[in-house]
A and B are shown apart, each in its own frame.
Chain A
């Protein structure tokens, strides 16, 4: 995009002033270089989001924003139900609560490298990955309801992981006010055998080395030391979330005239928070958040089982678990007054700053860990939420690098075997059921995550704490 089309409000802040049917301005957090490289569709979609009923302050885009459906990916928008605010299925996305969790291992790089092949093979054998894979947990109707209402707490009660994990998960492991009765038979059917599976596409499990610590104090609070190894899991609510997204997108499109909502585009389908469709979606979406939290909790247990066999002295406590695709009710200050807002984050991470009451005591002084995913060959990052972020995009930050080219282009450029061999030569072991999937996910198909993280820091959204480099990647 051309920076001349924006009003520059800071080194990394660009505004599209409200005009025409826009109720609020649109704001993009990005360096000039990232803004220039950003898809023009981001602007178009942000302008559309800024027209939705009840939106407050601004429609935001994070430094990794790109063309999504309805809302841009990397989009953040908050709605006030007292002002006719809406909830949007497209504003959350199909992969509800897709997110990242990071586990400590306490192991030094050398200890992992000594058993790297064996560990990679064992993780690949234990954690179901790829299209059509099924988990060890098969849920009947009652267990499904309990999982949808209980999230990671349900998983811990079933013996997957420890109670101590729950403190280190957003919502303490369980999204309140989930309504399993709003989740269709079809969505349940899609999930029946998929609990504890990684999925495919850009989902992964990585064993990573902490290669750089940028903020000593933050790193200490997070328990991160250079040269130590962590495990990161990236996946979401699997088929259940996808089906809920699909069904409610249609239901919202069909209901929009009934609520006198004029959609700039059908893909912006939404319903008032205080409507039957809106309330049903929120209940189903919260159940899907619990599904994602349970899923990552079960996978965590599988990872710990593998480490117990391969590196038995390792302990794997949870650093933190964040979700990227959600709508959550949070109090935020608007014109000096705290109001409960429905904050949509689509491909964006919540980034509460120091002192936020929802954070565990360990992060009271640092802000929450913000986990930024990379690609198989490039760095991932751990950032910390800032106080300033509350005055920006409702305490939100970026979530990853974003693709630099389409899957189609990547498939023409790389062969899966070649990617695996090149990464192996760099000391990174890839395990995946699909060579084609690896080609489509080649590291070169992604943007430079460091540029995105630098912009997030310069914009004040979050501060850099540590950089992680992959040693093993299990790719779905």
Chain B
């Protein structure tokens, strides 16, 4: 399976999907899809990094937690992120995100992501790799 990300349509909000050889890689790609809802990831310099740790009873809730932590960090640090590294350790996630402070003129941010929902939430093997997807409220 090719590594990558995509958005899928939802009437009012937006679906995002990451694909990778492992669940962790799919989580990383989905995070790129999250950034791409707001701005072009290519316009975001991976200058500064933050760490994110979260835990949840299952992998799908852990995926929603990962996205929600990124939403929180984007909102409170006023940053955008364009590079991600995720390590999954059972029910725990250790992540790192690289990015830079939001520059409205350069990044032209379109929407503010409010949070990840559990609609179409799925982390599952597919086509020899993994997908991680959900709908986010924008």
Q: Which residues of A contact B14 (CB under 8 A)?
A: 406-408
Q: Which residues of B contact A403 (CB under 8 A)?
A: 11-12
The answer to whether B104 touches A406, judged by C-beta atoms less than 8 angstroms apart, is no
Q: Which segment, of B19-27, B81-89, B113-121, B124-132, faces chain A?
A: B113-121
Q: Is B112 an interface residue (CB 8 A)?
A: yes
B125: min CB distance to chain A, Å? 20
The answer to whether A436 touches B108, judged by C-beta atoms less than 8 angstroms apart, is yes
The answer to whether A435 touches B108, judged by C-beta atoms less than 8 angstroms apart, is yes
Q: Is A66 an interface residue (CB 8 A)?
A: yes
The answer to whether A434 touches B104, judged by C-beta atoms less than 8 angstroms apart, is yes
Could you give, for residues 26-69 of chain B, a 1 whenever the CB lies within 8 Å of some chain A CB and a 0 otherwise? 00000000000111000000000000000011000100110010
Q: Is B75 an interface residue (CB 8 A)?
A: yes
Q: Which residues of A contact B78 (CB under 8 A)?
A: 132
The answer to whether A66 touches B108, judged by C-beta atoms less than 8 angstroms apart, is no
A173–B81 Cα gap in the complex (Å)? 38
The answer to whether A239 touches B75, judged by C-beta atoms less than 8 angstroms apart, is yes
A186–B75 Cα gap in the complex (Å)? 11
Q: Which residues of B contact A436 (CB under 8 A)?
A: 39, 108-110
Q: Which residues of B contact A94 (CB under 8 A)?
A: 114-115, 117, 137
A95–B119 Cα gap in the complex (Å)? 16
The answer to whether A67 touches B10, judged by C-beta atoms less than 8 angstroms apart, is yes
Q: Is A85 an interface residue (CB 8 A)?
A: no
B100: min CB distance to chain A, Å? 12
The answer to whether B9 touches A246, judged by C-beta atoms less than 8 angstroms apart, is no
Q: Which segment, of A247-255, A337-345, A460-468, faces chain B?
A: A247-255
Q: Is A229 an interface residue (CB 8 A)?
A: no
A201–B117 Cα gap in the complex (Å)? 17
User: In the complex, what residue of chain B is closest to A45 when comparing beta carbons?
Assistant: B119
Q: Which segment, of A13-21, A68-76, A300-308, faces chain B?
A: A68-76
Q: Which residues of B contact A440 (CB under 8 A)?
A: 110-111
Could you give, for residues 424-447 of chain A, a 1 whenever the CB lies within 8 Å of some chain B CB and a 0 otherwise? 000000000111110110000000
Q: Which residues of B contact A387 (CB under 8 A)?
A: none
Q: Is B97 an interface residue (CB 8 A)?
A: no
Q: Which residues of A contact B117 (CB under 8 A)?
A: 69-70, 90, 94, 249, 267
A440–B13 Cα gap in the complex (Å)? 12
Number of interface residues of B (CB under 8 A): 39
Q: Which residues of A contact B115 (CB under 8 A)?
A: 94, 242-243, 245-246, 249
The answer to whether A246 touches B116, judged by C-beta atoms less than 8 angstroms apart, is yes
The answer to whether B104 touches A130, judged by C-beta atoms less than 8 angstroms apart, is yes
Number of interface residues of A (CB under 8 A): 49
The answer to whether B114 touches A267, judged by C-beta atoms less than 8 angstroms apart, is no
Q: Is A409 an interface residue (CB 8 A)?
A: yes
The answer to whether A131 touches B65, judged by C-beta atoms less than 8 angstroms apart, is no
Contact of B10 among A190, A250, A406, A476 (CB under 8 A): A406
The answer to whether A69 touches B137, judged by C-beta atoms less than 8 angstroms apart, is yes
Q: Which residues of A contact B64 (CB under 8 A)?
A: 250
Given A242-B115, A433-B104, decide whether A200 and B12 contact each other with a Cβ distance below 8 A: no
Given A200-B112, A434-B109, A436-B108, decide whether A407 and B138 contact each other with a Cβ distance below 8 A: yes
Contact of A131 among B7, B11, B56, B111 (CB under 8 A): B111
Could you give, for residues 54-97 of chain A, a 1 whenever the CB lies within 8 Å of some chain B CB and a 0 otherwise? 00000000000011111001000000000000000010011100
Q: Is A369 an interface residue (CB 8 A)?
A: no
A130–B111 Cα gap in the complex (Å)? 8
A66–B9 Cα gap in the complex (Å)? 13
Q: Which residues of A contact B38 (CB under 8 A)?
A: 131
The answer to whether A406 touches B9, judged by C-beta atoms less than 8 angstroms apart, is yes
The answer to whether A67 touches B112, judged by C-beta atoms less than 8 angstroms apart, is no
Q: Is A276 an interface residue (CB 8 A)?
A: no
A439–B109 Cα gap in the complex (Å)? 12
A70–B109 Cα gap in the complex (Å)? 28
Q: Which 10 A-B pairs have the closest CB atoms?
A: A69-B117, A131-B109, A246-B115, A242-B114, A69-B119, A67-B11, A66-B11, A436-B110, A406-B9, A94-B114
Q: List 15 A-B contacts (CB under 8 A).
A: A66-B12, A70-B117, A90-B117, A90-B118, A95-B114, A131-B102, A186-B72, A243-B115, A249-B115, A253-B118, A406-B10, A408-B9, A436-B109, A437-B110, A440-B110
